[in-house]
């Protein structure tokens, strides 16, 4: 018995199958996993996961008060009228606001030479002279007489006398170097009791280094 297989070339079912295969071939996105799923935004992810830089999420920073110390200029000049070598120390307020200085251990401390903040280097010496130092017992808290208020652009001065035997004839370089114990950005009448009692632990008082210009004196 002879059985003939009919051709499927013109069959509607074959046509639909061919169309479906071609559709999938030209639309590969339909074959991707999760196609048709609703994607949810993860609002709880970190900034790094969402690729958000620091500009989009600025950090809060503590505002630090500007120190008045860089605006205090310390300069030295030689006093030529005296019989013994002497230097005038000038502190000028270059800030655009008033400041108050605690004179203890400052450039205008009258005991500056004995405190070791005056460095004297004779001509030809390898380093400053080893001058004797004295430790003072200060009145604390400091009174109004130990405070100096400087308006913007104003100055205060003090004089350092070099006794006999400190310097011989010739030349020497003098510089002042030390630390401000306390500087306030206000007039002395506005300084609170707590800040006077403990300048180191009070935000109203500033501490920092001072360094004068170098003066060459002739003896």
Domain-embedded: residue 40: no
pLDDT score, position 21: 57
Tens digits of residue pLDDT in 160-197 = 988 767 777 678 899 999 999 999 999 999 999 999 99
pLDDT score, position 162: 85
Domain-embedded: residue 92: yes
Using a pLDDT cut of 70, give the percent of the chain over it. 68
Helices (H) and strands (E) in the chain, counts: 3, 9
Domain-embedded: residue 146: yes
Tens digits of residue pLDDT in 97-136 = 999 999 999 999 999 999 999 999 988 888 888 888 888 8
Using a pLDDT cut of 90, give the percent of the chain over it. 49
Instruction: Look at residue 48 and tell me whether its pLDDT is greater than 50.
Output: no
Reading the block at residue 124, the tokens are: 């030809």
Beta strands in 60-214 (DSSP E): 72-79, 86-93, 99-102, 118-122, 147-150, 155-161, 171-184, 205-211
Domain-embedded: residue 8: no
pLDDT score, position 6: 46
The CATH number linked to 127 is 2.60.40.2970
What's the CA gap between 127 and 114, in Å, rounded? 18
Choose between 38 and 73: higher pLDDT: 73
pLDDT score, position 103: 96
| Spatial CA neighbour of 86 closest among 162, 11, 169 | 162
Instruction: Look at residue 29 and tell me whether its pLDDT is greater than 70.
Output: no
Domain-embedded: residue 7: no
State which residues form the domain around 86.
71-218
Helix (H) / strand (E) containing 90: strand 86-93
The alpha-helical segments, DSSP class H, found in the chain are 12-26, 112-115, 193-197
Domain-embedded: residue 172: yes
Domain-embedded: residue 30: no
Residue 16 DSSP class: H
Choose between 61 and 147: higher pLDDT: 147
pLDDT score, position 11: 58
Place of tokens 């559709």: 23
- Which band of pLDDT confidence, cut at 50, 70 and 90, is reported for residue 2? very low
What's the CA gap between 185 and 65, in Å, rounded? 10
Cβ distance 149 to 100 under 8 Å? yes
- Which band of pLDDT confidence, cut at 50, 70 and 90, is reported for residue 17? low
Domain count within the chain:
1
Average predicted confidence (pLDDT) for the chain: 79
DSSP string, 180-194: EEEEESS-GGG--HH
Instruction: Look at residue 15 and tell me whether its pLDDT is greater than 90.
Output: no
Domain-embedded: residue 144: yes
DSSP SS3 for 108: coil
Q: What are the distances in angstroms from CA 126 to CA 67, 98, 120, 123, 172?
A: 35, 40, 11, 9, 12
């Amino acid at each position: 018995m002879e059985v003939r297989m009919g051709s499927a070339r013109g069959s509607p079912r074959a046509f639909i199958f061919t169309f479906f295969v071609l559709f999938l071939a030209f639309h590969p996105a339909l074959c991707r996993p999760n196609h048709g799923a609703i994607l949810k935004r993860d609002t709880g992810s970190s900034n790094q996961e969402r690729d958000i830089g620091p500009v989009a999420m600025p950090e809060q920073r503590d505002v630090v008060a500007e120190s008045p110390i860089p605006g205090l200029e310390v300069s030295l000049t030689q006093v030529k009228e005296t019989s013994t070598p002497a230097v005038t120390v000038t502190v000028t307020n270059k800030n655009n606001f008033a400041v108050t200085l605690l004179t203890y251990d400052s450039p205008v401390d009258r005991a500056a030479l004995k405190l070791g903040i005056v460095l004297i280097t004779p001509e030809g010496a390898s380093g400053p002279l080893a001058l004797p130092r004295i430790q003072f017992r200060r009145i604390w808290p400091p009174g109004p007489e130990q405070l100096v208020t400087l308006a913007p652009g104003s100055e205060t001065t003090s004089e350092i006398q070099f006794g006999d035997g400190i310097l011989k004839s010739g030349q020497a370089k003098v510089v002042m170097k030390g630390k401000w114990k306390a500087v306030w950005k206000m007039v002395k009448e506005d300084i609170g009791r707590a800040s006077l009692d403990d300048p180191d632990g009070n935000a109203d008082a500033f501490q920092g280094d001072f360094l004068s210009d170098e003066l060459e004196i002739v003896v």
